[in-house]
A = this chain, B = another copy of it.
Amino acid sequence: MLTSPALAMNDLFPACGDSKMRGLMMDRPLLISSLLSHAANVFRDQEIVSRTVEGVIHRYRYAEAERRAKQVANALRGLGLGEGDRVGTIAWNGHRHFELYFGVSGVGGVCHTMNPRLHHRELAYIINHAKDRFLFVDTTFLPLVRAIAHRLKSVQHIVVLCDRANLPDTPLNNVLTYEELVLSHSDQLEWPEFDDRTASSLCYTSGTTGKPKGVLYSHRSTVIHSYAIALPDALDLGIATSILPVVPMFHANAWGLPYAAALTGAKLVFPGPALDGKSLTELMNGEGVTVAAGVPTVWLGLLNHWREHETKVASLERVVVGGSAPPRSMIQAFEEEFGIDFRHAWGMTEMSPLGTVNVLTPSQQGAPGGERYDLKCKQGRPVYGVELEIFDEQGRPLPHDGKTFGEVRVRGPWISSRYFRQRRSKSHDGDGWFATGDIATLDPSGMMQITDRKKDLVKSGGEWISSIELENLAAGHPDVAQAAVIGIPHEKWTERPLLVVQAKKGRSPTKDDLLAFLKGKVPDWWLPDDVIFEAELPLGGTGKVQKAKLREKYDDRYAAAR
């Protein structure tokens, strides 16, 4: 017999959009403020340590960080911050920048972090495009702001991240100091609650072409991403972790680490402007850093310092490396020379940024050295929250055989759906997927390996030819010093590959030599239609061949065939 009280079902099941039955769980929003509140309540004595611009070490705890975040939130409200207003920051990694992450978004503002290394013109464009009403800047960058001030259309307040005593002379008007602003406002504030899809932070990505494009994160995306990056097979953060984000806070929110540290109660160590091997080593030793995260160049500096001074950091268990592919020798150095776990990760600003992390399975871990490092060079497996597939040019999904390559497309709750104030975007048109522009293989164990950038592929007869694979093969010829493969417009095939070679000194290989060398190693239709010899290939600042220059130079090479 059914003995339940006679209730109208409609009263108890508020309809979802499509009239499905709702669960009866609290519909609590995932707000960034709740990360810091959690830390302040549950890990209130955990430390946040910062090397300041002035060079001294600043040290306080999560509970105080939250009080000051509330003070800066009250100050911003006092200065007229409205919901959705953008607050620009040009700053190093430090405790004040950390407070802004939470203080700004906590009351519905958008924390817009900026890369101070951009050209003045670009920086001014970004500030104006974002319509930043506030700028918070480290003293280091005050001259920079001075230099672009005449171009800025929306900025009403400039706040320098220091106290009055450390404020440099500046001809700028109406400059406030952060400490005065914070100290003159109450720390009494109940963080407001609102829809967790509300915008929280903004970061521009400067592609190789076109204007910088803004990625606008939400509270929901940020909090879910924080859970994911803290997982054991991602950054593995907990109460015993002491984490050093070397990756800048203006670079995809320091990969989300300030948020994830609050979520897990990890100790946070901010390096400020001192990113050289010696300074980092000192800071890590002083603060018992167990995990550090950054781009390969930083780790190169660190390795060089350690070798030169026959030292290391005893507490350091793990480095997490992303931003660009680390050389195999670096992975080996950390693991074999220094006994430090090396986690290779991949992502991009449009992905909050985490996409994949390379953690080997127990059986892969036991593979022989060479094979093991082949695996460690891959970009890894997607973390849950990122759906990742490879597609051919017709948009068909490709097999996960470790050989077939295609463009990586991703989707998930922390992936960009559109650029800020930009109606069209080729990357976002793919039927709900974001097209990364990276070309990769996926192997049966779920591991991704990036093989190319899409713009470097040669599109021939509706199929792709990997420029990198051809280059690597050509570079294996005993007479070749360096090789580049570019796609040249072709009437019949759209593009056909052209091999450009710099021969080793004293050697003079011929076109036929090289084509014969390649033949059989790749499908016949991959073979370059022509080979050109250059005395020296044009190199960019990072040592990479500037393919754009070669493309420009040889654009007409196959014109006869058109």
Contact = CB atoms under 8 A, between A and B. Distances in A.
Of A84, A232, A400, A411, most buried by chain B (CB within 10 Å of CB) is A232
Contacts of A220: 23, 25
A237 interface: yes
Contacts of A218: 22-25
Given A21-B84, A384-B263, A412-B28, A2 B420 contact: no
A43 to B, nearest CB: 6
Of A153, A211, A219, A381, most buried by chain B (CB within 10 Å of CB) is A381
Contact of A44 (B264, B412, B423, B444): B444
A84 B14 CA distance: 13
A198 interface: yes
Of A22, A28, A381, A421, most buried by chain B (CB within 10 Å of CB) is A28
Interface stretch (A221-229, A270-278, A450-458, A535-543): A221-229
A9 B92 CA distance: 31
Contact of A418 (B12, B231, B365): B12
A249 interface: no
A440 to B, nearest CB: 14
A560 interface: no
A28 B386 CA distance: 10
A415 interface: yes
Given A12-B418, A197-B16, A25 B239 contact: no
A230 interface: yes
B239 A359 contact: yes
Nearest to A214: B24
Interface in A1-35: 1-5, 7, 9, 11-13, 16-28, 30, 34-35
Given A12-B423, A21-B198, A237 B232 contact: yes
B423 A27 contact: no
Nearest to A28: B413
Contacts of A321: none
B22 A153 contact: no
Given A240-B362, A411-B28, A23 B232 contact: no
A128 interface: yes
B413 A231 contact: no
Interface residues of A, number: 100
B24 A419 contact: yes
A30 B197 CA distance: 14
Contact of A108 (B20, B198, B417): B20
A155 B4 CA distance: 16
Contact of A195 (B16, B211, B419, B422): B16
Given A215-B24, A384-B264, A128 B221 contact: no
B230 A21 contact: no
A233 interface: yes
A82 to B, nearest CB: 10
A392 B220 CA distance: 33
A237 B231 CA distance: 8
B24 A418 contact: yes
Contacts of A240: 361-362, 365
A195 B21 CA distance: 10
Nearest to A29: B413
B421 A7 contact: yes
Given A125-B3, A264-B232, A414-B25, A359 B238 contact: yes
Given A16-B198, A198-B23, A199-B22, A232 B238 contact: yes
Contacts of A13: 84
Contact of A232 (B83, B219, B232, B400): B232
A22 B198 contact: yes
Contacts of A231: 227, 230-232, 238, 264
A423 B7 contact: yes
A128 to B, nearest CB: 4
Contacts of A304: none
Nearest to A23: B218
A412 B196 CA distance: 13
A129 interface: yes
Contacts of A44: 444, 446
A45 B445 contact: yes
A74 interface: no
Interface in A439-473: 444-446
Interface in A338-359: 352, 359
A25 B421 CA distance: 13
A398 B17 CA distance: 40
Contacts of A216: 23-25
Interface in A383-433: 384, 387, 400, 411-423, 432
25 contacts: A1-B151, A3-B125, A3-B211, A4-B421, A16-B197, A18-B195, A19-B83, A20-B84, A22-B197, A25-B216, A25-B415, A26-B411, A26-B413, A26-B414, A26-B434, A27-B417, A28-B411, A34-B384, A41-B400, A44-B444, A224-B227, A227-B228, A227-B384, A239-B361, A264-B384
